[in-house]
A and B are shown apart, each in its own frame.
Chain A
Amino acid sequence: QSALTQPASVSGSPGQSLTISCTGISSDVGGYNYVSWYQQHPGEAPKLMIYDGTNRPSGVSYRFSGSKSGSTASLTISGLQAEDEADYFCSSHTRSNTWVFGGGTRLTVL
């Protein structure tokens, strides 16, 4: 199975909003609502930010939101802050009853 497609990098200034896309196919992102997003700072383990496409775990800032349209999921970060600078990975359940990650997006706060 191929990795989900994410932009390699995105950047924005503090206070801005930006969106990271995650494109799959009908047998993964397009076929299930089990899309999750993870944030990873250098040298740390990933942290769950969004699950089921749109839900935030307890403790995750309201500035993070998720959505999905067809086979593309999106993570939107509003009111960008310096601490948001990190790598972001999407993940989806697949028809084969496995999971697949996206290639990852490096977010830079200018």
Chain B
Amino acid sequence: EVQLVQSGAEVKKPGESLKISCHVSGYNFAIYWIGWVRQMPGKGLEWMGIIYPADSDTTYSPSFQGQVTISADKSISTAYLQWSSLKASDTAIYFCARQNIGNAFDIWGQGTMVTVSS
């Protein structure tokens, strides 16, 4: 069974760093793009960026370029999303998803809730 399992909820203070994960099983992790999507409380979906684990080729949305870093570790079939200095406005649910048919996201992780508050 194809699964994307994300790390658990985080509560952080402004200025702290954070790295959340998305562990993949059930398919060859390296050869499918993995994307990250933000959903702020009560709001819509925002495409953040995408990575090809085989060579770590990465594309970011202009809105998130320089604000986050997307990475992947093929040896443990895991993708990551990280911040070096969190802001209160980073409070949101973050989803990882596999890009497959029609370049659409066909399988999604369960989401990671990130709360940034002083």
Interface residues of A (CB under 8 A from B): 1, 3, 34, 36, 38, 40, 45-48, 51-52, 55, 57, 87, 89, 91, 93, 96-104
A34-B102, A51-B101 are known contacts. Are A3 and B109 too (CB-CB below 8 A)? no
A93: chain B residues within 8 A (beta carbon): 103
Question: What residues on B are CB-neighbors of A57 within 8 Å?
Answer: 101, 106
Interface of B is mostly: strand
Residues of A within 8 A of B67 (CB): none
Name the interface size band of chain B. 20 to 34
Please, which residues of chain A bring their CB within 8 A of the CB of B44? 3, 87, 89, 101-104
Out of B59, B97, B102, B110, name the residue touching A55 (CB < 8 Å). Answer: B102
Other A-B pairs beyond A36-B103, A89-B44, A101-B46, 10, CB < 8 Å = A1-B62, A38-B45, A45-B109, A46-B45, A51-B101, A55-B101, A55-B102, A57-B101, A98-B49, A101-B37
Option from A1, A89, A96 in Cβ contact (under 8 Å) with B45? A89
Residues of B within 8 A of A46 (CB): 37, 45, 95, 97, 105, 108
B111 part of interface (Cβ distance < 8 Å): yes
